Structure 1
Amino acid sequence: MRVLIVTDTYPPDINGVARTLHTLGAGLVRRGHVVEVVTTVESQEGLQRHVMHSLPLPGYPGLRFGFASTRQMLELFDAFRPDVLYVATETLMGISAIRAAGRRGIPVVSGFHTNFQNYLEDYHLPGLETVAQGVLRAIHNHTARTLTPSADTAAMLERWGIQNVGVLGRGVDTEMFDPVRRDAALRLSWGADESTPVAIYVGRVAAEKNLELVVRAFDVFKEVQPKARMVIVGSGPRLESLKEERPDFHYAGARTGEDLAAHYASGDVFLFPSITETFGNVVLEAMSSGLGVVAYDYAAPRLLIRSGENGWLAPFDDEGAFLAQVREAAARWQDEGLRLAARQSAFDLGWERVIEQFEHELAAVMHEMEEVK
């Protein structure tokens, strides 16, 4: 197959969507397919890319929206001659790609990777959630198939009236994210020896991640473990204000690769209070790294965590219950049996099965279009 991935975010961007798309594309190449990417960021690394004009999201310069005309997309299609498109983001660039594909008779699979409709209030556009749902429904129903990472999100899309929704899960590199990467010197740089519990958060430092609850959760953690340290790994628009609010936290900035893996493995308990995830790749990475995760019962945590056995779950958006689970996690931060169980839970979730399913989904819509013709 000749596959064209259309996405506003792609490495060197540091986020779960970018990493996922790179992993899927590279996996298809290993399986003998030709894959190119239409995106917004220049880089000489990775897959062949076509870079389009873009503008930053207001209030969040780390995220960009791409712009491309239908004509630009048609010219690109005529040069690359894709058999199938995967449109991963619902911006003007993605819409243009879908329109152009319709004119050329190229099948399109779309991805729902991010709950943008939930971000509108956080980014000063309140009251538009219903409008956003209608727009998203129209976009996705112009594609042959919509893939999303969790059953929870798939059910939500079906309630909106989006048709032909499928679940394409996520994987984790268990060799990269491994407890053996625990680094005593790194912990000491955080002010923690092996007798000091470390709570850690990895992800965007942004309003939609419910960071206020991270702060409250650590205060509860520290009531149980007065020596505890809090480490924030990531960057984003809330970073500077959080530093001012909590100078006692350690801020590691954005990390990638083995460096990121060492940061995970050097923590003890992972705090994940987000309520806007379509999946939550960081939960898989934390569990693979041998951390007990405290999270809400939806998306990846619902799939992976057995509360009290390999992590801790709270009913969705129940802050009191979440904080109660944080107390339990603080009391059991050295529970090696729980941490081993978390690691074991990640082993069945390698990327190859996800890449194989992705390949099958793309091939299926190609076959359906050939039958129609």
Structure 2
Amino acid sequence: MQTSDLRIALFSGNYNYTRDGANQALNRLADYLLRQGAALRVYAPMVPDPDFEPTGDMIGVPNIRMPIKSRGEYRLPLGLDGKALKDLEAFKPNIIHLSSPDPTGHRALRWAQDHDIPVLASVHTRFETYPRYYGMSFMEPAIEWILRRFYNRCDALVAPSQSMVDTLIEQDMHDDIAIWSRGVDREVFNPSRRDMEWRRAQGLEDDDIAIVFLGRLVMEKGLDVFADSIIQLRKLQVPHKVLVIGDGPARQWFQQSLPGGIFAGFQTGPDLGMALASGDVFFNPSITETFGNVTLEAMACGLPVVAAGATGASSLVDDWETGRLVPPGDAAAFAEALKPYCTNHDLRARHGKAGAEKACQFSWDAINSVVADTYVRLVEDRRALQESERLEAEAAKHS
């Protein structure tokens, strides 16, 4: 079987209406699959004015605004209505890809099982960690139980880093998990994008050391730990400035917590590459990422990285070679790790160069071929099982 023989039904909770790392990866995967000759249909919430045009044919599913104030820009898929089910039946997929354990993903999983079609699930975020950022940590065991039940009903999983694979196995989510890593666009993200005029326009002097935050401004990105760490760094009287790239519902809180910080707002494409390369040190305290696209992009831009030693970053950052890995949540330790990058030019340059060299290993087509190969394996395994069952039934009939 070839990739061109695949008929993939891809289910996403956010395919294109709000730009994020997960749907950027899914759209790149879709582009790769279509270029290989596969047939693809995407089932996801649709809105009148999405952030970008979807890759591939897309069918809308029922949805409502996410019932959490700080996540109000997201939609909650509610299942599959008659239109989506009719289209799914007509499309006749031979593999189902679920990228979110939401109500639509659960319904699609039941449909696949009813039709004896294999299912691959991709893991994009640490959903079970979200409640702790909203004062509801008591919910984590229940969410982990729901995730375990969902993922174990799938035929296999893909996750973006070895550290995330290890976590999923430890949580007993599945025992068939491949690594679907992430790539980086080296045309957009590279050290040559650094722009001194842009820096000056933001209020950065040429000799200022800019510590960069990049991402959506939501609490689960570790904004509280970032702010606490900067406070600790200021107490050490280490000269630096903070450059925040991104926007989101927690922007006002973040600005109040980082007086004097430079907020460059949401950036994308070449403008994002320029803004990121114009920083000096990248700081990512988040523990919710399964990979950390922003960490890889910062490395590609030649920035040393200080990150939480958690899923995602621990598979990207080589401690003491391309940056530092720090125990999650330890603001004092983060400040100590940031300090030498603010004061030692040679260390900053050496670790930044090593990170840029490592980022060259991440090619999107090679990475996406892993998912295509997993699709093929699951379809072939299911067909072999069906044929074995048919032969057993025939033998039983004639015995």
1:297 Cα deviation (Å)? Answer: 2.2
Question: 2:373 matched to which residue of 1?
Answer: 360
Question: 1:251 matched to which residue of 2?
Answer: 263
1:12 Cα deviation (Å)? Answer: 4.3
The farther-off stretch of 301-310 and 75-84 is: 301-310
Which consecutive residues of structure 1, in runs of 5 or more, have no partner in the other structure? Answer: none
Question: 1:234 matched to which residue of 2?
Answer: 246
Which digits, 9 at most, give the CA deviation of each residue in 1:303-353, with x for residues without a partner? Answer: 232223221222344433222101122123563222211100101111122
Q: Is the 8 A contact 2:284 2:307 kept in 1?
A: yes
* Amino acid across the alignment from 1:38: Y
Matched position secondary structure for 2:272: helix
1:45 Cα deviation (Å)? Answer: 4.3
Q: Is the 8 A contact 2:163 2:312 kept in 1?
A: no
- TM, length-normalised to structure 2: 0.88
Question: 2:120 matched to which residue of 1?
Answer: 109
Query: How many corresponding residue pairs?
Result: 372
Q: Is the 8 A contact 2:61 2:84 kept in 1?
A: no
Question: 1:41 matched to which residue of 2?
Answer: 46
1:181 Cα deviation (Å)? Answer: 1.1
1:151 Cα deviation (Å)? Answer: 2.2
Change (3 A) 1:167 1:211: same
The farther-off stretch of 316-325 and 186-195 is: 316-325
1:357 Cα deviation (Å)? Answer: 0.5
1:123, 1:71 → 2: CA distance? 35
Q: Are 2:105 and 1:94 equivalent residues in the alignment?
A: yes
Matched position secondary structure for 1:173: coil
Q: Is the 8 A contact 1:275 1:296 kept in 2?
A: yes
Q: 2:146 aligns with which of 131, 135, 152?
A: 135
Matched position secondary structure for 1:232: strand
Question: 1:14 matched to which residue of 2?
Answer: 19
1:24 Cα deviation (Å)? Answer: 1.1
* Amino acid across the alignment from 2:268: T
1:235, 1:215 → 2: CA distance? 16
Q: Is the 8 A contact 1:153 1:278 kept in 2?
A: yes
Question: 1:348 matched to which residue of 2?
Answer: 361
Question: 2:390 matched to which residue of 1?
Answer: none
Q: Are 2:351 and 1:338 equivalent residues in the alignment?
A: yes
1:69, 1:152 → 2: CA distance? 33
Which has the larger Rg?
2
Q: 2:32 aligns with which of 27, 34, 39?
A: 27
Q: Is the 8 A contact 2:162 2:315 kept in 1?
A: no
The farther-off stretch of 360-369 and 141-150 is: 141-150
1:73, 1:96 → 2: CA distance? 11
Q: Are 2:216 and 1:216 equivalent residues in the alignment?
A: no
Which consecutive residues of structure 2, in runs of 5 or more, have no partner in the other structure? Answer: 1-5, 387-399
2:232, 2:19 → 1: CA distance? 30
* Amino acid across the alignment from 1:5: L
Matched position secondary structure for 1:271: strand
Question: 2:137 matched to which residue of 1?
Answer: 126
1:28 Cα deviation (Å)? Answer: 1.2
Q: Are 2:317 and 1:305 equivalent residues in the alignment?
A: yes
Which digits, 9 at most, give the CA deviation of each residue in 1:269-296, with x for residues without a partner? Answer: 0111112221111110000011111012
Matched position secondary structure for 1:348: coil
1:239, 1:149 → 2: CA distance? 28
Which digits, 9 at most, give the CA deviation of each residue in 1:26-70, with x for residues without a partner? Answer: 111122212221111345443221122222331211222211237
Identical pairs, percent: 26
Runs of 4+ in 1 over 4 A off after TM superposition: 70-73, 220-225
Q: Is the 8 A contact 2:225 2:329 kept in 1?
A: no
Question: 2:72 matched to which residue of 1?
Answer: 61
Q: Is the 8 A contact 2:163 2:314 kept in 1?
A: no
Q: Is the 8 A contact 2:228 2:331 kept in 1?
A: no
Alignment of 1:170-209 (within 5 A): 170-209=182-221
2:371, 2:21 → 1: CA distance? 17
Q: Is the 8 A contact 2:60 2:84 kept in 1?
A: no
